[in-house]
Chains A and B, each alone.
Chain A
Amino acid sequence: MSKEGKIVIDDERLEAFEKEKEKRRRAGRIMIFWRRFRRHRMGVFGLFIIIFVTFVGVFAPFLAGPGRLVPFGPRESNVQARFTPPFSYESAKDTAASQEASTLEKTVAAFYANYKLNFINGMSTTALPHYLQLSKIDSIVDETTEEELWSSSLDPADYLNANGSLRLPTSFNGSALIDYRTGGKIAFQINPSKNKLTFVSIFLAVRVDSPESVWGGKFKVYLYEAESDLNSANYLASSSVQSYLVSTGPSISLRLIDFRFSVAGLQITTGSTYTVVLDTEIMDIEFPGINQYVVTRSGPAEMDPLRTTNQNWNALDGWNDQDTATYEGWMAYVAVFYVTNKFHVFGTDALGRDILAATIWGATSSLTVAFLAQGITTLIGIIVGTIAGYYGGFWDNVLMRLTDIILAIPFFFLLLIAITLWEQISLYFMAIIIGVLGWAGIARVVRAQFLSLRELEYTEAARALGVSNVTIMFKHLLPNALAPVIVQTTLGTATVILIEAGLSFLGFGDPLAVSWGTAIQWGMTGNTLRFAPWVATIPGLAIFVVVLGFNLMGDALRDALDPRLKN
């Protein structure tokens, strides 16, 4: 009470005071707990983070995939969604970004639609061994006739420049046919947009002309300044990828196998011209039991200079009976274009996958695994701990020794072993495995609680009232044992998120789902981390924030649930 004025206590105030007093007196444990919890600002902040991320995770299909609604996590149908930024192109039509995005989309569309055209153009403009040139066209007639090949609905005026060279779409910078035996170099100019740093993705599309084929290749990309000697080692950046592809086409046909490949995040100064050199070294690989892929061409087989290099050549000699030479091989059609990152808020990874979308999808994956796994962990832990702690004796021995065994094996490696036993890992499967292997800690906590609870008089009182053991265990005692379990579960959820991210990072995750770990892995390929640090940073930050949120909340819960703290 202040010295100056008296506090007037009228009936109304008194009544309100009494009401509040009564409310506080009556407050159940949950209210008391909430009142204590609320005082921890950081804990409330953590709770806010968790609610926010859960929200993002649940609504990821709406947030991250343009126009796609997939109710349960990122499965097959969402694979495409991962590659697109989390905004619909349609809804952002008027912005400059959307125009660029739409150009990109058209570019990609044109690239797919006109591959025949580009194929021809590639041959006419690039110096390649003669036998791979027109002869190739002549022979690819099994399904696609030459006539069909040429009867493009496009008017040549639409795609040819005045000098007869191909007019490529805006961002389309080069294409080439590359011989698998020699590999080849393709150089093209890029001129990044003036006002924005450009992140370059190069897509490599491969056309394999074979019914069944296995091939692999080494792809190297160099970035040169425009005036440099393209054969020198003075490149600004380089990146290499080795890749294999198995294709089992039905027959010799003109197939475009889309293989995306990229320079890993080259960062380029605006306004200057650069040259990108794609150096390919393509291997053909022998697999016993797989027939050699065959491409027919005219001309005598004996004249094929490469014939002797293939060990299976003799076995395939019979293909000559149609008076055409056969040789094993493939043709790769390489087209390169680059993508600017204007439309991608957090940029893209090396393959042009939008990082924001991936991070949003990552929330779904991580939280699905985290909640499910921790739920299983807690459930098993509670049951095991309750039985061991309440009954004691034999069951205590059996269950606790089992717990010891599980704790004695390094958890992460046990997990890796368990996961590698199955070929295809889904998020749910991963969650179940983490949950089934992770309950030991909770079981111990619950058991310790029950060891003291079962000695308390209210346990004995309940038994003396004729309450059954199961009811005593799970109804009377469990609520008393829950406080440390809640804390442990909250902190454990953070651990599961880290474990899930770790597994995905190492490539043991769900191949069809995007997880934060996977996204970080995208950012670690090649030189990406150096040139495009955001790729790994954004999902990394997401992990950091969520784990921090869970830990802050766990600490606040620990304080709020501690019975020794008064108020």
Chain B
Amino acid sequence: MTFAEEPLLELEHLKTQFFTEDGVVKAVDDVSFKLHRGEVLGLVGESGCGKTITSLSILKLVPTPPGKIVGGKVMFNGEDLLELSEERMRQIRGNEISMIFQDPMTSLNPVFTVKNQILENIKLHQDVSEDEALEKGIELMQMVGIPEARRRINDYPHLFSGGMRQRVMIAMALSCNPQMLIADEPTTALDVTIQAQVLDLIKDLQEDLNMAVLYITHNLGVIAEIADNVAVMYAGNIVEYTDVNTIYDKPDHPYTRALLSSIPRMDKKISRLGVIRGTVPNLITPPSGCRFHPRCPYATEKCSTQVPPYVEIEPSHFSFCHYAATL
């Protein structure tokens, strides 16, 4: 899938660091990618590789202190979000860029009714009356597939199941017709059936509303389901960026390959699943050169000394490796 127009969101060399007592954690290091209108970008990586921090950096929600965005640009609709005032950011959050979170159980405030919480966002960003907001809220709940929305909108969150809560969260996120949705592992805490429903829902809504979606997950199966393009993150870097078919058919970066070989696949018969040796590096003192080199089966001397370049193997297929397209 190609997107000819200007990207909606463009990250340029984003760097986010956490200044802790033990040292500076380089959680996001030089991350760049583009996201177009109507595109779903899957951001994949194992735990602690900086996926969530990347998304929080976009909204400038990195807990400060200790976190700090130290460099780069987040171009959204032609303006750099990092330059904007907190006031303006609050207008963007929830209105132009929305976010849904991993754990639907704790994402809703237990002391308020769902109505209270959905309507708050509507009233915060739109100049509507109480009745109009209520109608909009009910409409949203119907849209995300909650039965008996008119009655259930007055319920407290504890009366909803996990999947339903996630739907409520999605309804809240979509309440102001955002141009972009950041979904931070929205299906991780749900069981598989509900996962599939929520994924379908997000996909449908994304197509209906022509939203850009940044979908963060560590589940490559989910990515195959929903994403147009995929960015694979490792230790704060994006190591590979390509479209969703290429990542499964012709993965280039050794990390992506290792990752794919470690999950069972229906189309290939593998007697033994692959393992990535070692553990995720400590981001206070990341490995020199290529950050993956201590665990890379193809690593050479060069890998440990020089930071690899971004190599465009094919059009819009980037690999962050010295030996891109040669292995």
Contacts and interface: CB of A to CB of B under 8 A. Distances in A.
Interface of A: 25-26, 28-29, 393, 456-458, 460-468, 476, 479-480
Contact of B107 (A457, A466, A476): A457
Nearest to A476: B109
A463 B61 contact: yes
Interface string B159-180: 1000000000100110000000
A461 B159 contact: no
A-B complex: 7 closest residue pairs judged by Cβ atoms: A465-B94, A466-B93, A464-B99, A466-B94, A466-B90, A479-B111, A457-B107
Interface string B107-123: 11111110000001100
Interface string B243-277: 00000000000000000000000000000000000
A456 B110 CA distance: 11
Contact of B65 (A393, A457, A460, A480): A393
Contact of B108 (A25, A458, A466): A458
A28 B182 CA distance: 32
B91 interface: yes
Nearest to B59: A464
Contacts of A467: 90, 94, 120, 124
Given A29-B156, A480-B111, A465 B124 contact: yes
Contacts of B89: 466
B125 interface: yes
B155 A25 contact: yes
B98 interface: yes
Contacts of B109: 458, 462, 476, 480
Interface residues of B, number: 35
B120 A460 contact: no
A473 to B, nearest CB: 13
A463 B112 CA distance: 16
Given A460-B61, A467-B124, A26 B154 contact: yes
Given A466-B124, A467-B120, A461 B91 contact: no
B106 interface: yes
A463 B154 CA distance: 23
B103 interface: yes
Interface of B: 59, 61, 65, 89-95, 98-99, 101-103, 106-113, 120-121, 124-125, 154-156, 159, 169, 172-173, 182
A465 B103 contact: no
Contacts of B102: 457
A463 B65 CA distance: 16
Contacts of A476: 109, 112
B107 A458 contact: yes
Nearest to B60: A463
B94 A464 contact: yes
Given A465-B173, A466-B89, 9 more contacts: A25-B155, A26-B154, A457-B101, A457-B102, A457-B106, A461-B172, A463-B61, A465-B120, A465-B121
A460 B112 CA distance: 16
A466 B92 CA distance: 7
B151 to A, nearest CB: 9
Contacts of A464: 59, 61, 93-94, 98-99, 101, 182
Contacts of A462: 109
A465 B98 contact: yes
19 contacts: A25-B155, A25-B159, A28-B156, A29-B111, A456-B106, A458-B106, A458-B107, A460-B61, A461-B172, A462-B109, A464-B99, A464-B101, A466-B90, A466-B93, A467-B90, A467-B124, A476-B109, A480-B109, A480-B111
Contacts of A463: 61, 93
A453 to B, nearest CB: 10
Contacts of A480: 109-111
A462 B112 CA distance: 13
A199 to B, nearest CB: 57
A389 B155 CA distance: 29
A465 B93 contact: yes
A423 B107 CA distance: 55
A222 to B, nearest CB: 69
A29 B159 CA distance: 12
B187 to A, nearest CB: 15
B65 A465 contact: no
Nearest to A480: B111
Among A28, A457, A465, A480, max chain B CB count under 10 A is at A465
Contacts of B112: 476, 479
A457 B111 CA distance: 14
Contacts of B155: 25-26
Contacts of A466: 89-95, 121, 124-125
Nearest to B157: A458
Contacts of A28: 113, 156
Nearest to B159: A25
A203 to B, nearest CB: 62
